[in-house]
Amino acid sequence: MAGMHNGVVSTASTSAGQAQATTSSRPRLLVRLFRAATSSALATGISQVTLIGLLWWGAAPVLASALAFVAGAIPNFFLARRWAWGRRGTPPVRSELLPYFVVIGLAGLASVGLTTFAGWLTEPLNLSGFVRIVVLDAVFLGSYAVVFVMKFALLDRLVFRHATRIRVAKSPS
């Protein structure tokens, strides 16, 4: 019988609790990952429309990708914060907003840097407007995909860490 005997918790009881916490945390983590990916996909869609529109109108890749990133990052914060991490109310500036902007800013610098670099590389090729937009857009999307896992881990463990605590219900004894 698992439980407490003469003031000592049995190993079977402790191991069972750890196993339950581990197995119950996996589905919750997968749900957060799915929801964060979904909100990120929506934000990427907003960014894509912004990027393609600005490039179509002749904006420089650095400006277009920076504005596109911001256009997606703002709604992504509110959607992911509420839906993926279950946070409501006014976000605390020091514990959520500032760390979020640092994490997202680093991801944005990667996206803007890679898109700008691709623009610099394609400039001498004299690509037609449409082909150049496709190339720059592919680089922009690729950079999003590359940094998503890192960004999710940082948001999950640093920014919204208080929302991710696993609570295991105690069984009645």
Q: What is the mean pLDDT of the chain?
A: 77
Mean pLDDT of 8-18: 46
Helix %, strand %, coil % of the chain (to 5):
80, 0, 20
Q: What is the pTM of this model?
A: 0.61
Distance, CA of 159 to CA of 103 (rounded, Å)? 9
8 A C-beta contact, residue 55 and residue 64: yes
Model pLDDT for residues 123-141, shown as the tens digit of each residue: 888 887 788 888 888 887 8
Listed in sequence order, the residues at least 6 apart from 59 whose beta carbon sits closer than 8 Å to its beta carbon are 67
Cβ–Cβ < 8 Å for 32, 85? yes
pLDDT at 26: 66
Q: Does residue 152 have a pLDDT over 50?
A: yes
CA-nearest of 81, 86, 45 to 155 is: 81
SS (HEC) of 152-170: HHHHHHHHCHHHHCCCCCC
Per-residue pLDDT of 31-83, as tens digits, reads: 888 998 899 899 989 998 998 999 999 999 889 988 998 899 889 988 888 88
Domain boundaries, the chain: 29-164
Q: Which amino acid is at 57?
A: W
Distances from the Cα of 120 to the Cαs of 49, 80, 133, in angstroms? 22, 33, 13
Separation CA 86–CA 163 (nearest Å):
7
Contact status, residue 48 vs residue 111, Cβ threshold 8 Å:
no
